[in-house]
Structure formats: structure tokens, C-alpha cells
């Protein structure tokens, strides 16, 4: 994992000092509310329904155990003892005091963490594949490239006051786990016929009010040119993006208005001036960053005997077997496994973790996975390098700590934004809906029988819960001041993202578990063999679901 | 006389800005900053020896382009401090059109933008009336290290040897 140089550290410390000064001026009444607003947002600080909310950046989802212990400390001393993992691999504190935020940032700077550009109309934290570096289908490890982009975007002087927020995702694998089709810029690492490395560049994807799938504007961009090309794209957007109406200000609206072809021409024209300029990347710089992402010291393990031992443990213990099946994934290196720690036990808001749990995870990471932890888009955590021979022990400890719910990828592993309980933009609450669904479908055998299924909940159009790309999506809507929920079917986030279709009129909160039950019944009645929910949906379409859900009694 | 920040100093400002919709004969005997559109339409008849010009955030800096160095001063308007188009305009003037005169941010730039403005090539800042200019000077140096190349720094950090 990347370690700061003295320069990196100094930049972050100077940022803390700058924000401390800005906060002091604000509290002294020298800085108007509206002037402080973009400054605090670019430091991740929102004013929420009940208290400020501070969003901490987790660059491309990677964390270490020292950072977890620091987060525990912050949760304990500056918050109410917990934090929240978001769908963008970031962390949120829901109860900090404004006056204390500079101190929190100073604490975080000690472990190379910050809240830079986690909000506001600027280039946001870069996201990537949670299995980077360990996935079997990887073309190129995206993490060094994400770090290079992190540095390029950090305090970029030209792009701090864009028309709207700007999100970039990078994927290095054949199957896309970074949702690059629904980002302002999506980058896919590829190799051309000459086996040279480069990027396929997509622009104009996004969720929110107007969900759009991104368009490819360049099939192959040699890696040396990535920073200049990004400068060109963001410059075109900064100059011509809509600034009059915040709902029309994202780059996707500009790309659609101009058409992707015209947008691409504009970018190429701008890039022609920048190409081969000083921001052309050097092999030396790429090598410098790459050396931080070398493989951990894997041991050569006797795969046959560990596999046999594991099979024996699984045969003896059904619960362990289920956990192995749902919560672990094959690793590229023989004798190792990728382990998902579920942050979705029933009754806990999805993604919430307490201070003591943070410390437990830090200990588990040190003991079993080279001290590193990854945050996922699904609001879970990953220990990416666990010896198969230690899985049983890890499972037992994770169970005691509450992270071993064997539900990864199932109905109850649902994604959920903070919603109306915390967020001032919400139309409706989302956490109680998530909990009601988890309680209603508590029969794990039924849940396993349903197989892989994503259910995503957002409390409003801003779509932080990614409802458009859930197999089942639930969106909080406001109907004459009352909280209602619209249901969508057929979205997918991975591998050729697709947006869901609205089922029909919305429902009251207490109806939702029954509605989900009816949808699942239609699936179970229609599926062929072990067809997944999404495949049945694609085969039979929306109508059978609609008919069942809105039949007579509705 | 109003005060501005110019090259890191607080100085009295001798220039007068004409409004965007100005028409008629520009008054003689004072240093004028003309709206770009006026200059484009009248450049052949303007007889003043020294003029500046100002560009609004929704205007195309390309219209001045290679003529930039005809002017000792170009101002860029920030109609609101959240309108970031002027940052791109500044960089284009300095880096593409190699403008060497005074590049001034006008309108509503605020203290907390000075560092970025400086990086985008601005060397003069007309902050809103009543701003504490002494205190604002400190913000020009909020950071001592930067990652990117920009108008103030021809190389990105990874190409700089000495740092
Ligand atoms: S989707 Fe809406 S309600 Fe949920 S966190 Fe985002 S802005 Fe808030």
C-alpha cells in the first residue's frame, strides 16, 4: 500500500493548517456561511439533519490496521463511538463537532488519512476494484494508477470550482467491479495488439436524477498520456458544463447535449495542445508508485493438504461451510483466500462499525492478512490475503465480533444510504426499510436458495444507495409530504452496468417487505434451473412482476 | 483610490473597469479596462495608447488568443466565487497564449481562492470591498508543495529534481 513521501505528508499537514484557519475565521464571523460552504465541503464536512457529518477519504478503498485504530480513536473521542462505510468506499462520522474537525483531521494526518475533496464540486476520491491486486482476471493492478490520479487531482488548481461534483473510477480487470460505466469518467486498463498498456476512456455515466451509462470516447490511450487527457476532459467540462441549474450540471448532461462524438472531438482538440507536455508520465514515476504495491510476502503453501483439511472442517460444520461458500473468494495465489467481513448483520445499519469493532478488525488484519483491509462498494470489508489454513480460526473470531453473517451477495447483504435518519436531502428513511427486509427474510435457507441478488436502497434521487443498479432497487420519494418508496427491477452494477426499470406506483414503508416477497415469489415460480434473479427478469420482463404486485388488492 | 493585491503587495489601483454593456466613446485621460466584446467590435477605431481588457467567465478566451500580449493587463471576471471557469481562462492565457502582463481576478474572488488563482497565472486580485487584504496575503502561500504543473510551475512534482 502507498506510503506518503515527506512531500505528501507536508501537503496534508498544510491542508489541516489551512482548514483550521478557515474554521476559526468562520467561527469568529469573518467568513460568511456561503463562503465557508465550499471550503468545508472540500474537506468532507456537511451540515446534516442532526449534526455535521465528516466524510473521510479512503483512496481506492485501501486501509491498514494503524488507520483502523486511529479511526476507532476518532469514533470514541470525537463521535458517538461508531463510523459508517459508504457505497463509495469512504468513511463517514455522523456526530463530530464543527470546532473539533480540524483536530480530527490532524489526528488522521498522523496515519496518512484526510478528507480532501470528499465532497463539493471538485474531483472526488478515486474509486476502484475492491479486489485489486488479488483478482484472478486482472489485466493490470489499478492501484498505482489510482494513486497517480489521486496526486494529480489533489488540490488541482484549475478544477476546484467545477459546475458539479466529479467522480472517476478505474478498473484493471476484465470484469468490472468499479462500476466505470456509471461514473463521470470511467477508466478501463487495457492492452493493445502490441501488448502496450493504456486506458479505454468513458465519459458521462452517472446515477442520480438522470441515470446514464457512460460513452467510450477513446478506445486506447497510451498510459503516458493519462494526466494530460484527463486535464483536457475536465477543462472542457469546466468551461462548458451547465452552471445555471444544478440538476443539469453534471458532465453527462453536456455529453448528451453535444453527443459523445462531438464531446470527444472537443477533448481531442484540447488535448492536442497538452499532449507530450510536462504532465506526460514517466516510467520512473510509475515505477516509484508501483513499488508501493508489491505483493505481500506470500508463503508457498501445500494447496492439496490445506484444501483437504478445509473440506473436512466444512463437512463437520454446516455454518462454516455456508460462510466459506458465501463470504470467501478464490485467490490468485494458491493456498490463500479472499475473505469478506459482512457489515450487514440484521439490526445494524448497513456499513456501521463501532470503535471496538474497528480495533478487532485491525487485530484480525494484522493476524491474518498482512495488516491490510479493503472497503467495498457494497459496504463490507475485505481481508484480501488469508491463508486457507487459518480460515476456520478467522471465522470463529469474526463470528464473535459480529462480522461473519454468511450473506455476502445475497438479498440481506443490501446496500443502503444513511437516508432520512441522518441526511438532510432525504425524501424518506432508508435504514428502517433495510432492517424490515432483513427481518422479514431471516430464513437463511430461503435466502441461499434465492442465490446472488442485489438489493439497493436510496433515500432520494441522489442515489447514494445506487438503487438504479440494484437487481431490486428501492427509492425514497416524497408524496405530498409523506414518505413513499418506488421499486425498480433489473439493474446491475457489474460487467456492463444496466439501469433498472420502475415497477409502477410507489408504496408505503410498511408494505415494502410484502412487495419484495411477491417479487421474489414471481422469480421462484418462473426461474429455470439455477437461473439467477437477474437472468429470469431479463427473460420474462417486467410484466409478470407488475401483475403480481399490483393484482386486485392494490 | 481602491486597493488591490498585485504581485504580493497591497497597492492602489489606477485602472477603471468599463461595464460589459458599455457603448460610445471610451473616456480619455484614465487607464481603462474595456470589456472584451467592446474591444473586439471596435479594436480598429480605439485610439487610446494603453488599454486593458476584461473577459467574462462565459466568454471564449480564444477570441483574444494570440493578441493577448497587446495588453499590459487582462482581467478575468468571477461573477460568483463558485464560478470556476476563470481558472481555465487564466491558465490558457498564460500557458497557451503566453501572456506576460498583469492577469487580474475581478468580480468575487475570495481569499481562500488566492492560492489556486496564483497557480492558474493570476498575479493581481481585486477582492470584494472591505476584505482584509493584509490577512489575505497569507493565503497566497497556503501550500509550499504542489503536485501538478500549472501556470506557476512548469513541471509536475514527479519531474522536479530538487524537491
Ligand atoms: S441518496 Fe439521498 S437520502 Fe440517501 S444519503 Fe444520498 S442524498 Fe441522502
Higher pLDDT, A540 or B1: A540
Ligand 1 atom nearest the C-alpha of A420 is: 3
Burial of A304 (0-12, 13-18, 19+ CB in 10 A): exposed
Q: Which of A427, A428, A462 to mutate to test the pocket of ligand 1 (most atoms within 8 A of CB)?
A: A462
- Please say whether the beta carbons of B136 and B5 come within 8 A: yes
Q: Residues for chain A: how many in total?
A: 554
Residues 6+ apart with CB under 8 A from B85: A238, A239, A243, B57, B58
Residue B163: band (very low, low, confident or very high) from pLDDT cuts 50, 70, 90: very low
CA distance B116 to chain A (A): 5
Ligand 1 atom nearest the C-alpha of A423 is: 8
The closest of A401, A275, A392 to A337, measured between CA atoms, is A392
pLDDT at A373: 97
* Residue in this structure with the C-alpha cell 473521542, named with its chain if needed: A77
Q: What is the CA radius of gyration of chain B?
A: 16
Q: Is the CB of A465 under 6 A from ligand 1?
A: yes
Contacts of B82 in chain A (CB under 8 A): 38, 121, 161
Q: Is the CB of A419 under 6 A from ligand 1?
A: yes
Whole-angstrom distance, CA of residue A441 vs CA of residue A381: 23
Contacts of A18 in chain B (CB under 8 A): 142-143
- The class of domain A415-549 in CATH terms is alpha beta
Closest Cα to atom 6, ligand 1: which residue?
Answer: A464
DSSP code for B96: I
Whole-angstrom distance, CA of residue A146 vs CA of residue A185: 13
Q: Residues for chain B: how many in total?
A: 163
Q: Is the CB of A463 under 6 A from ligand 1?
A: yes
Whole-angstrom distance, CA of residue B158 vs CA of residue B163: 9
Q: Is the CB of A418 under 6 A from ligand 1?
A: yes
Alpha helices by DSSP H, listed for A226-317, are 226-240, 251-258, 260-274, 283-290, 303-316
Residue B162: band (very low, low, confident or very high) from pLDDT cuts 50, 70, 90: low
Backbone angles phi, psi at A253, to 5 degrees: -70, -40
Nearest chain B Cα to A18, which residue?
B142
- Helix, coil or strand: residue B77: strand
B41 and A CB contact within 8 Å: no
pLDDT at B124 exceeding the cut of 90: yes
CA distance A233 to chain B (A): 12
First to last CA, chain A: 54
Q: Is the CB of A425 under 6 A from ligand 1?
A: yes
Backbone angles phi, psi at B140, to 5 degrees: -60, -20
> Per the structure block, which three cell numbers stand in for A159?
478544477
Whole-angstrom distance, CA of residue A289 vs CA of residue A423: 37
A29 and B CB contact within 8 Å: no
Whole-angstrom distance, CA of residue A256 vs CA of residue B66: 32
pLDDT at A137: 85
First to last CA, chain B: 42
Q: What is the pLDDT of residues A22-36, one digit of tens each?
A: 999 999 999 988 889
pLDDT at A49: 66
Alpha carbon of A96 to ligand 1 centroid (Å): 19
H or E segment and range at residue A146: helix A143-153
Whole-angstrom distance, CA of residue A188 vs CA of residue B131: 47
Question: What b/e sequence results for B29-41 when a residue is b if at least 16 CB atoms lie within 10 Å of its CB, and e otherwise?
Answer: eeebbbbbbbbee
- The class of domain A135-293 in CATH terms is alpha beta
Low-confidence ranges of chain A (pLDDT < 70): 48-50, 553-554
Tell me whether strands A185-191 and A168-171 are parallel, antiparallel or unpaired: parallel
Q: What is the pLDDT of residues A359-407, one digit of tens each?
A: 999 999 999 999 999 999 899 999 999 999 999 999 999 999 999 999 9
Cβ within 8 Å, pair A10-B144: yes
Contacts of B150 in chain A (CB under 8 A): 157-158
Cβ within 8 Å, pair B142-A14: yes
Residues 6+ apart with CB under 8 A from A495: A175, A176
Residues of chain A with CATH 3.30.413.10: 135-293, 415-549
Tell me whether strands B102-107 and B124-125 are parallel, antiparallel or unpaired: parallel
CA distance B21 to chain A (A): 21
CATH classification for the domain delimited by B3-159, as one of 3.40.50, 2.30.29, 3.30.60, 3.30.2320: 3.40.50
| Measured torsion, CA atoms of residues A359, A361, A364, A366, in degrees rounded to the nearest 10 | -70
Nearest chain A Cα to B56, which residue?
A239
Residue B20: band (very low, low, confident or very high) from pLDDT cuts 50, 70, 90: very high
Q: Is the CB of A139 under 6 A from ligand 1?
A: no
pLDDT at A554: 47
Q: Tabulate helix, strand, coil % of chain A (nearest 5).
A: 45, 20, 40
pTM of the model: 0.93
B163 and A CB contact within 8 Å: yes
Cβ within 8 Å, pair A282-B158: yes
Whole-angstrom distance, CA of residue A313 vs CA of residue A305: 12
Amino acid at each position: 500500500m502507498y506510503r506518503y513521501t515527506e512531500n505528501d505528508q507536508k501537503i496534508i499537514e498544510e491542508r489541516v493548517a489551512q482548514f483550521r484557519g478557515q474554521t476559526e475565521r468562520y467561527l469568529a464571523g469573518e467568513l460568511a456561511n456561503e463562503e465557508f460552504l465550499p471550503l468545508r465541503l472540500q474537506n468532507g464536512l456537511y451540515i446534516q439533519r442532526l449534526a455535521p457529518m465528516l466524510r473521510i477519504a479512503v483512496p481506492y478503498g485501501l486501509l491498514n490496521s494503524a488507520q483502523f485504530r486511529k479511526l476507532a480513536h476518532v469514533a470514541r473521542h470525537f463521535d458517538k463511538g461508531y463510523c459508517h462505510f459508504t457505497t463509495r468506499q469512504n468513511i463517514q462520522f455522523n456526530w463530530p463537532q464543527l470546532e473539533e474537525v480540524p483536530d480530527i483531521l490532524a489526528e488522521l494526518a498522523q496515519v496518512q488519512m484526510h478528507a480532501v475533496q470528499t465532497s463539493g464540486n471538485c474531483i472526488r476520491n478515486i474509486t476502484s476494484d475492491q479486489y485489486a491486486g488479488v483478482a484472478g482476471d486482472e489485466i493490470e493492478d489499478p492501484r498505482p494508477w489510482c494513486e497517480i490520479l489521486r496526486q494529480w487531482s489533489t488540490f488541482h488548481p484549475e478544477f476546484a470550482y467545477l459546475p458539479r461534483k466529479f467522480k472517476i473510477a478505474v478498473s484493471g480487470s476484465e470484469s468490472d467491479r468499479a462500476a466505470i460505466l456509471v461514473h463521470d469518467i470511467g477508466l478501463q486498463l487495457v492492452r493493445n495488439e502490441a501488448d502496450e498498456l493504456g486506458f479505454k476512456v468513458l465519459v458521462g455515466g452517472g446515477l442520480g436524477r438522470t441515470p446514464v451509462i457512460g460513452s467510450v470516447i477513446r478506445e486506447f490511450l497510451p498510459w503516458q498520456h493519462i494526466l494530460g487527457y484527463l486535464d483536457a476532459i475536465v477543462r472542457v467540462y469546466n468551461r462548458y458544463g451547465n452552471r445555471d441549474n444544478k440538476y443539469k450540471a453534471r458532465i453527462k448532461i453536456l455529453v448528451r447535449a453535444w453527443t459523445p462524438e462531438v464531446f470527444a472531438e472537443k477533448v481531442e482538440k484540447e488535448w492536442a495542445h497538452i499532449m507530450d507536455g510536462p504532465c506526460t508520465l514517466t516510467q520512473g514515476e510509475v515505477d516509484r508508485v508501483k513499488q508501493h504495491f508489491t505483493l505481500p510476502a506470500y508463503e508457498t503453501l501445500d494447496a492439496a493438504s490445506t484444501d483437504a483439511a478445509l473440506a473436512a472442517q466444512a463437512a463437520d460444520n454446516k455454518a462454516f461451510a455456508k460462510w466459506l461458500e458465501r463470504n470467501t473468494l478464490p485467490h490468485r495465489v494458491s493456498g490463500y483466500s479472499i475473505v469478506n467481513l459482512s457489515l450487514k448483520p440484521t439490526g445494524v445499519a448497513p456499513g456501521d462499525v463501532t470503535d471496538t469493532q474497528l480495533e478487532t478488525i485491525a487485530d484480525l488484519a494484522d493476524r491474518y492478512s498482512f495488516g491490510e483491509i479493503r472497503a467495498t462498494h457494497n459496504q463490507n470489508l475485505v481481508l484480501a490475503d488469508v491463508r486457507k489454513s487459518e480460515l476456520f480460526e478467522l471465522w470463529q473470531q469474526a463470528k464473535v465480533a459480529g462480522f461473519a453473517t454468511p450473506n455476502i451477495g445475497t438479498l440481506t447483504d443490501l446496500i443502503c444510504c444513511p437516508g432520512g435518519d441522518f441526511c438532510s436531502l432525504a425524501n424518506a428513511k432508508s435504514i428502517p426499510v433495510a432492517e424490515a427486509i432483513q427481518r422479514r427474510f431471516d430464513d437463511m435457507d430461503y435466502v441461499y436458495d434465492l442465490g446472488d441478488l442485489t438489493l439497493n436502497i436510496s433515500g432520494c434521487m441522489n442515489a447514494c444507495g445506487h438503487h438504479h443498479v440494484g437487481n431490486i432497487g428501492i427509492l425514497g420519494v416524497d408524496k405530498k409530504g409523506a414518505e413513499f418508496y418506488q421499486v425498480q427491477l433489473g439493474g446491475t452494477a457489474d460487467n456492463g452496468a444496466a439501469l433498472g426499470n420502475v415497477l409502477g406506483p410507489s408504496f408505503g414503508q410498511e408494505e415494502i417487505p410484502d412487495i419484495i416477497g411477491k417479487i421474489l415469489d414471481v422469480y421462484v415460480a418462473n426461474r429455470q434451473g439455477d437461473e439467477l434473479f437477474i437472468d429470469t427478469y431479463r427473460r420474462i420482463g417486467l410484466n409478470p412482476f407488475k401483475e403480481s404486485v399490483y393484482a386486485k388488492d392494490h | 483610490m481602491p486597493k488591490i493585491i498585485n504581485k504580493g503587495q497591497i497597492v492602489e489601483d489606477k485602472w477603471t473597469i468599463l461595464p460589459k454593456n458599455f457603448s460610445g466613446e471610451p473616456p480619455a485621460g484614465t487607464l481603462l479596462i474595456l470589456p472584451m466584446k467592446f474591444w473586439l467590435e471596435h479594436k480598429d477605431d480605439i485610439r487610446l495608447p494603453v488599454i486593458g481588457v476584461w473577459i467574462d467567465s462565459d466568454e471564449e478566451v480564444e477570441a483574444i488568443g494570440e493578441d493577448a500580449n497587446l495588453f499590459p493587463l487582462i482581467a478575468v471576471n468571477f461573477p460568483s466565487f463558485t464560478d470556476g471557469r476563470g481558472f481555465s481562462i487564466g491558465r490558457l492565457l498564460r500557458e497557451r497564449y503566453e501572456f506576460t502582463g498583469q492577469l487580474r481576478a475581478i468580480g468575487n474572488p475570495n481569499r481562500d481562492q488566492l492560492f489556486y488563482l496564483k497557480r492558474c497565472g493570476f498575479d493581481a486580485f481585486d477582492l470584494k470591498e472591505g476584505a482584509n487584504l493584509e490577512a489575505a496575503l497569507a493565503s497566497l502561500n497556503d501550500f509550499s508543495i504542489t503536485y501538478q504543473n500549472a501556470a506557476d510551475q512548469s513541471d509536475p512534482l514527479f519531474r522536479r529534481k530538487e524537491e
